[in-house]
Amino acid sequence: MKEKSLVIKFQETPLSCHDSMLQNNFDIIDYMYIQKSLFVRIHYYVRLIVLGIAPLGGDLLKLGVHVSIAGSVDRAFDRAEERGCDTFQIFTRNPRGWKSKDLIDKEVESFRAKSESSGIEPVFGHMPYLPNLASSKDETYEKSVETLIDELSRCARLGIPYLVTHLGSHLGQGKEIGFERIINAINRAVKEAEIDVMLLLENTAGTKNSMGATFEDLRFIIESLDEANRIGICFDTCHAFAAGYDLRNEEALQTTMEKFEEILGFQRLRVVHANDSVGKLGSRLDRHEHIGFGYIGDEGFKVILKHEVLGSLPLILETPVDQAGDDYTDLKKMRDLFQSI
């Protein structure tokens, strides 16, 4: 096992994503990871080697999936370990309803303890399905903002440094109204929450009336916020491809990521949602596919894994669980592609 591999893959993401515009209290979110016990990291990596999940002597890929919190929120770590994850994502509540159960002190303590001892990090929270931060319907909008405030607080209590959110739909009222609602919602939530959790805006597939499909739209939202330093980006490969950003080969990916860097800047990018696409390039179809089974394909994910920025970030799979495959098969596919580079 080369020491260089451990150092690069454990430090490259937090240390390479900083510039003057982000040198503030949020530095602690990134630097907290390199302060964790190196022994814990090495122990976890050795366990992955023994299980045949991570290759001996290879670079450590930061790969994970969205896992369930059924039974107790801390069991997410157990499920992530079972799958050989290096990182993972969760809903902190039932994602299909507005009401949430209060977090239990004992479960919070267990979650934080497993976070310290497991070697699996970072953990990402994800907003539930129902909130719509761009909604023109007042009741839905108010519930959405309150949910965002609550989710930021829940993540802080669990020690989760990042919360991913979709930006929602303007419901036919136009992008201008959608922008106004989203900007006001995030400003209010960040101000009221007053906690050190970074909110990550996820790019969308460009379905009818949806917000945030283009890099320019994401930049407009961020630049309009009162505390833009508390905002980052989650890059979803399926959504980007469906919105018209080609990722299928090295030249196409380079073009897309040059646009991303110019418009948004890599310093804001914190996580990649690695999903293949059922729809063709520019289809605006938001349907995830197993890795290599969709239109991005094996070659696309090879160049994504090889990319100096995307390949060094945490990659979270949100692929289907069906007869064609599950978390285990897609994780293995990604590791196999990584080793074939």
**Catalytic residue set:** 96, 126, 129, 166, 202, 236, 239, 273, 286, 288, 318
Cα four-point dihedral sign 268, 269, 271, 276 = positive
185's tokens: 């919602």
Q: How many other β-carbons are positioned within 10 Å of the β-carbon of residue 174? A: 12
Q: What separation in angstroms does the CA of 52 have from each of 46, 55, 108, 138, 336?
A: 10, 7, 31, 52, 12
Coil, strand or helix at 186? helix
Residue whose tokens read 């949602």: 273
Residue whose tokens read 């991005």: 296
CA 41 to CA 335: how far, in whole Å? 19
Q: What separation in angstroms does the CA of 22 have from each of 6, 19, 43, 184, 231?
A: 25, 6, 32, 22, 10
Which residues are bridge partners to 269 per DSSP? 233
User: Residue 54 carries which side chain, given as an amino acid letter?
Assistant: A
Rg (CA), the chain: 19
Q: Can you list the alpha helix ranges (DSSP code H) found in 24-74?
A: 27-31, 38-50
Coil, strand or helix at 203? coil
Is the Cβ–Cβ distance between 297 and 248 less than 8 Å? yes
Q: What separation in angstroms does the CA of 159 have from each of 101, 122, 145, 224?
A: 18, 10, 21, 28
Give me the long-range contacts of 214-218 (CB less than 8 A, separation at least 24): 214/243, 215/259, 215/260, 215/263, 215/264, 216/263, 217/175, 217/179, 218/263, 218/264
